[in-house]
Amino acid sequence: MEIEPESAAVDRARLSLVPPQGLTPTQVSSIRALLWAAFGDKPDEAMTEGDWQHALRGTHFLLELDTEIVAYASVAERQLEVGSRQLRTGYVEAVATAVPHQRRGLGSLLMTAVNAYIREGFELGALGTGRHHFYERLGWITWKGPTLVRTPEGPRRTPDEDGSVLVMFTPASPELDPAASISCDWRSGDAW
């Protein structure tokens, strides 16, 4: 495959937003192939069926070059809580750029659209990642306080996730202390 200069890819890429149930079977198989290849096969990082189910609940962000999907992200609504304050949160899942197209600005372009969508419709943006720098460049900050999940039996600490939850404030965000505890709603699979 011939790879064009970096800037050209960003200029030509076409963004689409697809509602949760709206992907075609062809799009589903392309996105799955992209995600499984991009996240690789290290046990801690590899994409799982559970991660995919979480992504399917959200609005799908697709970047296409010609007819190929080259970057993907999903944003689903979740209820995060800081103190007793419930926050209508745009939760970002499964962000990836197809391996041959990485480091050409496509992931940043996609996240710029995700950021705008979250700023417009939510009280907070949130995601879990080990790629802090990639998101911090784009306005996200690392949540410093302890993380928890609100299970049906009550709140439970998620210490392995401390330091890997990032948030983005929006015009609708109340004043929040990033050193406070933060909790997410319960779901099957990874809580964060």
Ligand X SMILES: CC(C)(COP(=O)(O)OP(=O)(O)OC[C@H]1O[C@@H](n2cnc3c(N)ncnc32)[C@H](O)[C@@H]1OP(=O)(O)O)[C@@H](O)C(=O)NCCC(=O)NCCS
36 binds ligand X (CB under 6 A): no
Using DSSP, state whether 95 is helix, strand or coil: strand
42 binds ligand X (CB under 6 A): no
Query: Residue with CB nearest ligand X?
Result: 107
Given 12, 14, 85, 137, the residue binding ligand X (CB under 6 A): 137
> Smallest gap, in angstroms, from Cβ of residue 34 to ligand X?
8
104 binds ligand X (CB under 6 A): yes
112 binds ligand X (CB under 6 A): no
C-beta of 108 vs 142, nearer to ligand X: 108
Return the bridge partners of 27, or none.
none
103 binds ligand X (CB under 6 A): yes
Using CA atoms, how far residue 57 sits from 110, 120, 184, in Å, is 18, 19, 16
Residues 11-36, buried b or exposed e (16+ Cβ, 10 A)?
eebeeeebeeeebeeebeebbbebbb
Taking CB under 6 A as the criterion, which residues in 48-77 touch ligand X? 71
Helix/strand/coil (H/E/C) assignment for every residue in 120-154: HHCCEEEEECCCHHHHHCCCCEECCCCEEEEECCE
d(Cα 9, Cα 64) in Å, to the nearest integer? 10
User: Which tokens in the block code for residue 185?
Assistant: 């709603």
> Smallest gap, in angstroms, from Cβ of residue 165 to ligand X?
11
> Smallest gap, in angstroms, from Cβ of residue 81 to ligand X?
22
Return the bridge partners of 182, or none.
82, 147
Taking CB under 6 A as the criterion, which residues in 4-23 touch ligand X? 6
Taking CB under 6 A as the criterion, which residues in 142-181 touch ligand X? none
C-beta of 40 vs 155, nearer to ligand X: 40
d(Cα 24, Cα 21) in Å, to the nearest integer? 9
Given the rule CB under 6 A, which of 22-30, 77-85, 98-106, 176-184 is the region that contacts ligand X?
Answer: 98-106
107 binds ligand X (CB under 6 A): yes
Pairing of strands 85-97, 124-128: parallel
- The footprint of ligand X (CB under 6 A) covers 6, 38-39, 71, 95-97, 102-108, 129, 131, 133-134, 137
